[in-house]
Amino acid sequence: MPTHPPSSLDKQVFDVICLGSGWAGRVLAARCVASGLSALIVEKELIGGDCPFWACIPSKALLRPAEALDDARQVGGARERLSSTSVSVDAESVFRRRDLYTSGWDDTKVAVPMVESSGAHIVRGVGRITGVKKVNVTLDIGGGKYESIDLEARQAVAICTGSEPIMPDIPGLLDAKPWGPREATSSSVVPESLFIIGGGVLSVEMATVYQSLGSKVILASRTPELLPSVDSQAGEIVRNKLESRGARILTSTEVTLVKRDHSSASVTITLSADGHSQNISTSEILVATGRRPVVHHLGLESIGYDPALIETKSPIMVDESLVVKSISSNSSPWLYAAGDVNGRALLTHTAKYHGRIAANAIIARARNAFPSQSSAFDSFSASADRTAVPQVIFSDPVVASVGLTRKVAEQKGRDVSTVTAPVRTPGATLHAEGYEMGWAQWVLEKDTGVLLGATFVGSEVSDLLHASTVAIVGAMRVEQLVHAIPCFPTMSEVYLNLVDAAGV
Ligand SMILES: Cc1cc2nc3c(=O)[nH]c(=O)nc-3n(C[C@H](O)[C@H](O)[C@H](O)COP(=O)(O)OP(=O)(O)OC[C@H]3O[C@@H](n4cnc5c(N)ncnc54)[C@H](O)[C@@H]3O)c2cc1C
Ligand SMILES: NC(=O)c1ccc[n+]([C@@H]2O[C@H](COP(=O)([O-])OP(=O)(O)OC[C@H]3O[C@@H](n4cnc5c(N)ncnc54)[C@H](O)[C@@H]3O)[C@@H](O)[C@H]2O)c1
């Protein structure tokens, strides 16, 4: 039952109205309220958005038990307590742990109180823009009845509607009722075999989860390498580990036909690679072929936004303070788009960052204090989107990267060099005797030595990343980084290996 139907609203005018209660909308609303503005969040599903229920939190909750078991297996003294090397995670307990972290998909336990304690108002329903600073909210209350309310924003409306999975147009796929990210993160069933379409972040993380739970995993990527968004060596290391544990990885491969036999519950997949085709049988399929922004049915046409951009489901174009471009309006900037919907980086931490930047801009404009000239490091510009987006891929081993890869830097016409080093430090070997997979790389601007990108691959490397993020944002030169002394014996001594490799 909806807890905050439209009829529960005691006013129709708010300073700020957010469509969507994911991290982008929640951070934006909370910051505006903390500055004395009133804010309303409109949400059509669970309050909290994707991250706590169907994305980051359940996926990482599912990954952690196998990681902990692996760590124990690599450390003498702990290893001996495991009765045999074939000990694996207990699937039922893994799912139970995941259910705790998602609060059983009940948003009233954590997410609603969190928003309410921020002082933002919440209403359940589908939000739609009906004109400049105007929003309509409709809620289906069952029995063919709807509740609806027209609202007005004094300062701003923020589109924080997130993204949705892309379903590729493969004959038979829809009829086979494949899993998407929601089913993969909320399932309490371990399929005997799982065929994953896609070779990106979600594919690799879910391959790791279901392999650890006992499924036979087959992954088909149309790209020649796994994880094409990071440096190819990182994708190669992850591929080798998945294969060493029994997964079958098919690259440069297209799925051309899917056929589910509803009587036997098995699915036959037809694949094509190098002009040859083959059939593979599986019990379940996961589609992990990327996401696109939720821009349809938002009423954007009512304010002159190009219908072709809505039709093609293109990300909403925004300026540096995340104001929507290309709408017909004579009033000062009032419409913002934050998080996945603007397509800049589809990550929770960037959604939070966008919420912060857009809120800062809304507050400054409400106070007539918005600067006439913007600069990269003012608090109203989402400049990190262009230079220093960090991402941790929770594969085995973990891949943590920030900034430019060599390939992207070169595509941008930058003259760069790379230095690489093993994550082989006293800290790493103390962490785990079997620490053999660690690898790190910096991308440096050739003539200045300024750090542009960093990648770390290995167990427990995720927290190594932030130091490189700070160095990239600060445009630090590798000579300066010699003076950032990492502690002994920690894994951060990989930074010594990198400055050594850079010859400084
Ligand atoms: C399986 C998986 C794992 C992931 N793991 C990570 C991770 O480990 N780390 C990371 O940084 N990122 C991760 N991501 C990405 C992350 O989940 C997203 O980037 C993040 O949730 C985006 O937040 P958002 O606020 O933009 O949108 P969302 O969280 O998607 O919120 C948008 C909300 O808007 C609502 N909405 C849409 N239209 C309307 C409307 N018309 N009216 C009212 N409400 C509406 C939706 O119901 C939704 O609740 C993962 C994604 C997936 C799929
Ligand atoms: N740890 C994290 O930060 C995390 C985890 C999961 C998801 N996410 C985010 O969620 C988003 C979605 O993840 P994703 O893995 O679905 O997207 P992705 O963009 O990372 O990867 C999709 C992959 O699917 C491939 N593909 C597309 N169509 C295909 C087809 N018909 N057949 C075979 N392969 C095909 C693409 O080449 C691409 O490599 C990403 O932007 C990601 O950043 C983040």
CB 179 within 8 A of CB 286: yes
Q: How far is the CA of 17 from the centre of ligand 1 (A)?
A: 18
- At residue 487, the pLDDT reads 96
Domain ranges within the chain, ordered by starting residue: 6-48+108-164+293-370, 53-103, 174-289, 397-502
Q: Is 255 in the pocket of ligand 2 (CB under 6 A)?
A: yes
**Alpha helix (H) ranges present in 316-412?**
348-366, 384-387, 406-411
Higher-pLDDT residue of 148 and 424 is: 148
User: In Å, how far are 31, 244, 326, 390 from 281, measured between CA atoms?
Assistant: 51, 21, 48, 37
Lowest-confidence pick of 72-76, 280-284, 386-390: 72-76
Spell out the CATH class of 6-48+108-164+293-370.
alpha beta
Pick the residue whose CA is nearest to atom 45 on ligand 1. 20
Examine the pLDDT at 387 and tell me if it is beyond 60.
yes
Examine the pLDDT at 86 and tell me if it is beyond 80.
no
CB 65 within 8 A of CB 77: no
CB 197 within 8 A of CB 282: no
d(CA 471, CA 402): 11
Atom of ligand 1 nearest to the CA of 50: 29
- At residue 268, the pLDDT reads 97
State mean pLDDT over 430-441: 84
Pick the residue whose CA is nearest to atom 21 on ligand 2. 200
User: In Å, how far are 35, 389, 472, 502 from 455, measured between CA atoms?
Assistant: 38, 12, 12, 15
Pick the residue whose CA is nearest to atom 20 on ligand 2. 200
CB 172 within 8 A of CB 258: yes
> Dihedrals φ, ψ of 270, to 5°?
-100, 130
Question: Which tens digit of pLDDT belongs to each residue from 393-414?
Answer: 999 999 999 999 999 999 999 9
- At residue 430, the pLDDT reads 87
- Left (φ > 0), alpha (ψ -120 to 50) or beta: where does 282 sit? beta
State mean pLDDT over 200-215: 98
Question: Which tens digit of pLDDT belongs to each residue from 441-458?
Answer: 999 999 999 999 999 999
Q: If residue 95 lies in a helix (H) or strand (E), which one and from where to where?
A: helix 91-101
Ligand nearest to the CA of residue 161, numbered in listed order? 1
Domains 6-48+108-164+293-370 and 397-502 share a fold: no
Examine the pLDDT at 87 and tell me if it is beyond 70.
yes
For tokens 């106070």, the residue is 367
State mean pLDDT over 222-246: 96
pLDDT tier for residue 435 given thresholds of 50, 70 and 90: confident
Spell out the CATH class of 397-502.
alpha beta
Max Cα-Cα span within the chain: 72
Which CATH number applies to 174-289?
Answer: 3.50.50.60
For a pocket test of ligand 1, which of 26, 40, 161, 394 has the largest count of ligand atoms closer than 8 A to its C-beta? 161
Which DSSP string do the residues of 183-252 spell out, in sequence order? HHHH-----SEEEEE--SHHHHHHHHHHHHHT-EEEEE-SSSSS-TTS-HHHHHHHHHHHHHTT-EEE-S
pTM of the model: 0.97
Question: Which tens digit of pLDDT belongs to each residue from 1-29?
Answer: 456 889 889 889 999 999 999 999 999 99
Atom of ligand 2 nearest to the CA of 197: 33
